[in-house]
Structure formats: structure tokens, C-alpha cells
């Protein structure tokens, strides 16, 4: 069983770069396509407890975010982040790398290899 999990969107170049970085390090990883297997509330809360980045950073601020009428005030707390991502999994920042009891958002790309290797 792998100690590394990658929450991955294969359509995202940064997410694909994370797959390559993990392979280059030689770390076995479980790759989860989070749009096909969305995280439920409990899994999101667990992820946010491990996340070294700010909880609000887990939410993408793209055109879909704006189209939903969302603002930064709507993702200011852990509860709000969880609610938004349960309703709109596509707004989760990607890639996310989980290793043991720690997790990071793999942006910029050069964060991935040191995190996985460390």
C-alpha cells in the first residue's frame, strides 16, 4: 500500500506534472481522479487537517467559481471550504499530494518532488 496519494485531474498540466515528479522520485502512489471519485465531507475535513496550505487555498478561483456567485468570503472558514467543495468538486485545487499525515497543494510544480521524497 502506498504512503502517497495524489488527487489528480488528468486534464490539468500541473497535475500531470505531479504524476511525473512522483514517478521520477520513485515513490509508489495511489492516483485518485477526484472528479470521478469526489471527496465527501469527512474526507475533505481529513484532508484539510493535513493540509500545510491555508484551507481557502484548496478552492480554485476560476471562472466557474465566479459563475456560481462565490467570493473569497464564501470560502473563509473550513466549514465553508468543505461545503463548497462537496457541492462543486471541480473547484478543488489540483493537484493535491498526501503523504502520511501531511498534504500540500502541488503548486508551484517544484513543490511536489521534495515533499514526496522528504
Q: In this predicted model, what pLDDT tens digit does every residue of 51-79 receive, in sequence order?
A: 999 999 999 999 999 999 999 999 999 99
Is 77 an annotated catalytic residue?
Answer: no
C-alpha distances (whole Å) from 92 to each of 26, 35, 82 are: 26, 9, 10
- Give the pLDDT score at 118: 85
Confidence check: pLDDT of 14 > 80: yes
What is the bridge-based pairing of β-strands 96-99 and 102-105? antiparallel
Catalytic annotation, pick one of 12, 19, 32, 43: 12
Q: Over pLDDT 90: what percentage of the chain?
A: 96
CA distance 35 to 96: 13
Query: What pLDDT does residue 50 have?
Result: 98
Amino acid at each position: 500500500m502506498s504512503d502517497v496519494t495524489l488527487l489528480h485531474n488528468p486534464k490539468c498540466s500541473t497535475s500531470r506534472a505531479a504524476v511525473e515528479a512522483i514517478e521520477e522520485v520513485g515513490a509508489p502512489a495511489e492516483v485518485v481522479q477526484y472528479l470521478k471519485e469526489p471527496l465527501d465531507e469527512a474526507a475533505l475535513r481529513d484532508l484539510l487537517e493535513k493540509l500545510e496550505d491555508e484551507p481557502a487555498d484548496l478552492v480554485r478561483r476560476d471562472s466557474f467559481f465566479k459563475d456560481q456567485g462565490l467570493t473569497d468570503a464564501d470560502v473563509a472558514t473550513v466549514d465553508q471550504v468543505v461545503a463548497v467543495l462537496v457541492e462543486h468538486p471541480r473547484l478543488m485545487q489540483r493537484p493535491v499530494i498526501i503523504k502520511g499525515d501531511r498534504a500540500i497543494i502541488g503548486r508551484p510544480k517544484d513543490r511536489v518532488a521534495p515533499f514526496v521524497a522528504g
